[in-house]
Amino acid sequence: MKQEPIGIWDSGLGGLTVVREIRRRLPGEKLIYFGDTARVPYGIKGRDTVRRFARENTAFLVEQGVKALVVACNTASSLALDLLREEFSLPILGVIEPGARAAAEGTKNGIVGVIGTPATVDSAAYTAALKALRGGLSVSSRACPLFVPLVEEGWLDHPATRLVAREYLSPLMEAGVDTLVLGCTHYPLLQPLLQELMGEGVRLVDSAEELAGELSELLGSGELETSDSEQGSLEVFVSDLPLRFRQIGESFLGESIENLTLLDRKEER
């Protein structure tokens, strides 16, 4: 299974921050990414809808012969990961567990903040994962629905973004968090601004970075084999708006997207 690809999917563009970290840690791996841009955003949809989309996205990547799967969507990780692990017989990683583990291990005062989409925050998946790791933790969560469109607009340090961020982060500052989990794959692009507003004494946990580390450990554990190729590859599929995906996605990924295919999934929308 050395040369088989790793599959990664997200509701849209944000999962490319996960791809970026995987490419950095595992440069020899073949990656197949699916961005469900026809049905984004998942963060405002109901549980059953997200679980149906998750099943369909996973089935598509399994058909491509992937050796492991990464659910790069925080909303789907919180609402559908259990279902996917029951129904598909391959290693499946989500972004909740690695981010929660890093936060639980890293907090000094035991007060952790979580920011994410409304669906991720409402699911309380991060809170449950954090408290399962350290029962005495205090967890403050905050939904930040405007961050995704602001990031996709490229307004990473725009006055409007700064104003919105101050409003969102204010309750977390008042709660005294010393660790903040970026519970959406779009949010790492806002990290410089968020760090400035929270202060240098607060550690920001990038779930994308933590997940890439966990995948690297999985491939080195003997359960799966690491590719012996010197040069990996990236194949990208989207369900809508390929030109816009390439234009914005390259800023998320930090490199050009050469192999991009529009996947017709009209019957599933």
Cβ-based neighbours of 245, under 8 Å, separated by 6 or more: 12, 13, 35, 37, 236, 238, 257, 260
Distance of alpha carbon 216 from its chain centroid, rounded? 16
Considering 70, 93, 129, 184, which one is annotated as catalytic? 184
- Given a contact cutoff of 8 angstroms between Cβ atoms, the answer to whether 73 and 185 are in contact is yes
Considering 18, 61, 73, 93, which one is annotated as catalytic? 73
184 a catalytic residue: yes
Q: Which residues pair with 10 in a beta bridge?
A: 35
73 a catalytic residue: yes
**CA 248 to CA 230: how far, in whole Å?**
28
Q: What's phi and psi for 250, nearest 5 deg?
A: -65, -30
**CA 161 to CA 52: how far, in whole Å?**
33
Side by side, the strands of the sheet bearing 30-35 are 92-94, 68-71, 6-10, 30-35, 233-238, 260-262
Six-digit token string for 255 = 């490199």
- The residues carrying an active-site annotation are 73, 184
